[in-house]
Structure 1
Amino acid sequence: MKNTEITFKEFTKTYISDFPDKFRYLGTPLQIYTLEDLSSGSIATPTPLLKANFNFIILPTTGSFEQQVGNLIKKVSENQALLVMQGEVTSLLRKTHNIKGYYIIFDDKVLQQFKDQLYFFKLFTTSPIIHLHSNDFKFVEQTSKLIMQELGTSMPDEQIALYLFQSLLLKLLKSSELKNGLSRQYDIAISFRALVYKHYSDGYSINDYAKQLRISSNYLNRCIQKVWNKSAKQFTQEFVIIQSQKYLQDFSEPISRIAYHLNFSDPSYFGRLFKKIIGISPQEYRSKLMHDLSE
C-alpha cells in the first residue's frame, strides 16, 4: 500500500494548473504564502482527499472557502482561522473567486520550540475553526504580513519569524475555547486521538487504547462523548473509514486488499460500515471518483 501523504509542493504542482513559474517555495520550517498567489492558477475543486505531511493555518481576509477536515465540512470566511494538523485527511471543496488572505504551513518542530507547545498542539486538535473579534483578526493579519516580509528578504532571520508566529498562535489561543485551560477529559480525548492516528490500521480495540491511557474503557467513552459527542468506537470507525477514502483513490488497489490493510477481517463488513458512514458503498465511491475525473 503506497504512502498517501503529500507535501505542499507536490499539492501545488499536481492540483493547480497554470501555476506561475515565478512562484517561490520557501525552504524554511515555517512558510507563508498569500491565497491570491495560490489561486492565481486554477484549482480544480473539490480536490482529492489528501493527508498532508505538514500543519497549516488558513486566514481568509476576503471571500470564503469550504474545506473537508476528516469527516466534517468547515466553511471559513473573514475573521476566522482554519487550523489543520499534520496527518489529517483534508480536501478543498470550493472557494469564492475573490479569495484573499494567508496560508501558513509549518513542521511540528516549530511548535516544539515554544514554551506553550502543549497548548498549541491541543489548539489544533480541539479548535479547527477559531472565530476572532475584528481587532484580534487585524492583529493576526498584520502579524502575517510581518512574517511574510521577514521570510521574503534575501537573508531572512528565521528566529524573528518564529517569534512573530508564536505571537500569532497566542492570539489564536486566547480567542479559542482553550483560553480557560483544559479539563482532564479534554486531555484524555486529545491523547486518545493521537493514539488512533498512530494505530488506526493495527486493529486496536477500545480496551487497548484505554490500557495505554491507564484508564477504564467506560471513562474513555465518557471523555470522547463529552468532547466529540460520540463514542470511542464511533470515533475510531469514522477515522478508519475516512482514511480508507485515500486508498480508494488508487484504482489499482482491490477494495478487499484495502479492507485487509485496515485490519478488517471481512471486506463485506468494511463495505457495510463504509456505506453507513459515507452514504454510498466503496464501489459507488470509486465510480463517482472516476466520473468526476472524466468530466
Structure 2
Amino acid sequence: MEEELIKKLSLDDFIQIMGEEPQSEGLHVFISKNFTQIPITYPFRNLGNDILFVEKGSLKVSINLITHTLKKNESIAVAQKSVIQMLEISDDLSVININFSTKFIVDNFFKSNSIDAFSYFTHNNAPKLKLSKQEGKMFKIMARILKDYNKKEQAIFKEEIIRNTFGVIAYKFAEIFKRTYPDLKVELSRQEELAIRFWNILQENVKIERSVQFYANTLNVTTGHLSKTLKEVSGKTASQLIEAAVIIEARLLLQDPKLSISQITEELNFPDQSFFGKYFKKQMGLSPSAYRKENRK
C-alpha cells in the first residue's frame, strides 16, 4: 500500500499540530498551558526522541501498546519510532516535552564519557521516572532556560548554553534512572549490540520481511547464531521476535476502525486475508475481527 496507515509525525508535523513556532533544527521544547482536549487523537509513530514530563494533572498514554499513567513530577522517555497514543488527560494537564533528534545527540554528545547519560533514552519501553519536588522544580527551570535560548536567533554562547543545559537535564535523568533501576545494564555486550541492530532492522522491515534468513544475511551472521544470541539477550528466538513485532503492528492497525481486515492484510504484506487470520489467531488466540470487537468494549 502506498499510504502509511500508522501516521509518522516529524518534529515539523508536531509543531504545526500544536500551533508552535519553530525553534532550532533537531531540538524543540514544548511547554503547555492547560489542555482542554487531547491534541492528537490517533496513534502515531514519532520520528524523534522525547522527554515527556507532567508538570500538573495527569496523562494516560500508550507507548508501543504499553499503557502508562503519568502524574505530577513524573516523566518518561520515548525513543524514536515508538508508536504513541494519548488516551486520557485531566482537565488541568500541563506538560513539558523536549523533542530531540539522534543527530542532535551525535553532534553534541558523542563521546565515550557521555554515552552513559543517554542510555535511558534508548530503551524502546523505558520505565517512567518519579522526580522529587526539588528535582521537578529544577527540571522546569532548566527546560525553560533551554526553550528560551533555543528560540533565540542569536545570542552570545547560545550553542554552549543549549548544549550544557540539555546535558545537565540528560545527566540528571541518568542519575535518577540509575538510582531507581540500579540493575538495568548500560554498557552493551556484543550480544546486546547484535540484538539492538537486529531490532532496528526489524522495525524498518517488519511489514515486508518475516524470514529469519533475511535478518541473518543483513547482519552477516548465521540464522543459528542470531537466534541463539537473541534468546540469550531477550529470552526469545529471532522468529519469536519477528512474530511479536508483526503482531504489534497488526494490533495497532486493528485499533483503527476505518481500516478493513483486507486493508490490514495488504499493509502487512500477507498473501491473503485467510493466511493473516490464521497467523494472528495463532499468536493471540482470537481472530482479527474478534480481537477488534473485544477491544471496542
**TM-score relative to the length of structure 1:** 0.75
| C-alpha spacing 1:40/1:70, structure 2 compared with 1 (3 Å) | closer
- Paired residues of 2:63 and 2:84 also in contact (CA < 8 A): yes
Give unmatched runs, 5+ long, in structure 1.
none
| C-alpha spacing 1:231/1:91, structure 2 compared with 1 (3 Å) | farther
Q: Who is 1:24 aligned against?
A: 20
TM-superposed deviation, 1:50 = 1.1
| C-alpha spacing 1:255/1:166, structure 2 compared with 1 (3 Å) | same
| C-alpha spacing 1:64/1:181, structure 2 compared with 1 (3 Å) | farther
Q: Who is 2:172 aligned against?
A: 171
- Paired residues of 1:9 and 1:25 also in contact (CA < 8 A): no
TM-superposed deviation, 1:43 = 1.1
Q: Who is 2:122 aligned against?
A: 124
Q: Who is 1:89 aligned against?
A: 83
What number of residue pairs does the alignment pair up? 280
| Alignment of 1:240 onto 2:251 | no
In structure 2, which of residues 34, 43, 61 is the aligned counterpart of residue 67 of structure 1? Answer: 61
Task: Report Cα offsets for 1:37-61 as digits up to 9, x if no partner.
Answer: 3x4341178x322112222110123
TM-superposed deviation, 1:30 = 0.5
Give unmatched runs, 5+ long, in structure 2.
none
| C-alpha spacing 1:5/1:65, structure 2 compared with 1 (3 Å) | same
Taking the TM superposition and a 5 Å limit, the aligned residue runs for 1:127-146 are 128-131=126-129, 134=132, 137-146=136-145
- Paired residues of 1:130 and 1:172 also in contact (CA < 8 A): no
Q: Who is 2:197 aligned against?
A: 191
| C-alpha spacing 1:281/1:97, structure 2 compared with 1 (3 Å) | farther
Greater shift in the superposed pair: 120-129 or 76-85: 120-129
Greater shift in the superposed pair: 254-263 or 190-199: 254-263
Q: Which amino acid aligns with 2:10?
A: T
Q: Who is 1:43 aligned against?
A: 38
| C-alpha spacing 1:278/1:99, structure 2 compared with 1 (3 Å) | farther
Q: How far apart in 1 are the matches of 2:159 and 2:27?
A: 8
Q: Which amino acid aligns with 2:78?
A: V
TM-superposed deviation, 1:32 = 0.8
Q: How far apart in 1 are the matches of 2:70 and 2:235?
A: 22
Taking the TM superposition and a 5 Å limit, the aligned residue runs for 1:140-159 are 140-153=139-152, 155=154, 157-159=158-160
Q: How far apart in 2 are the matches of 1:171 and 1:181?
A: 18
- Paired residues of 1:60 and 1:81 also in contact (CA < 8 A): yes
SS in 2 for 1:42: coil
- Paired residues of 1:49 and 1:245 also in contact (CA < 8 A): no
| C-alpha spacing 1:199/1:130, structure 2 compared with 1 (3 Å) | same
Greater shift in the superposed pair: 186-195 or 223-232: 223-232
Task: Report Cα offsets for 1:144-177 as digits up to 9, x if no partner.
Answer: 2221232344646355323321332233234246
SS in 1 for 2:53: strand
Identity %: 23
SS in 2 for 1:239: helix
SS in 1 for 2:123: helix
- Paired residues of 1:30 and 1:110 also in contact (CA < 8 A): yes
| Alignment of 1:103 onto 2:97 | yes
In structure 2, which of residues 271, 289, 294 is the aligned counterpart of residue 265 of structure 1? Answer: 271
- Paired residues of 1:30 and 1:162 also in contact (CA < 8 A): no
TM-superposed deviation, 1:143 = 2.1
- Paired residues of 1:60 and 1:100 also in contact (CA < 8 A): yes
SS in 1 for 2:208: coil
TM-superposed deviation, 1:83 = 1.5
Q: How far apart in 2 are the matches of 1:180 and 1:189?
A: 14
Q: How far apart in 1 are the matches of 2:288 and 2:15?
A: 28
In structure 2, which of residues 96, 110, 116 is the aligned counterpart of residue 115 of structure 1? Answer: 110
Q: Which amino acid aligns with 1:149?
A: D
Greater shift in the superposed pair: 268-277 or 25-34: 268-277
Q: How far apart in 2 are the matches of 1:89 and 1:127?
A: 11
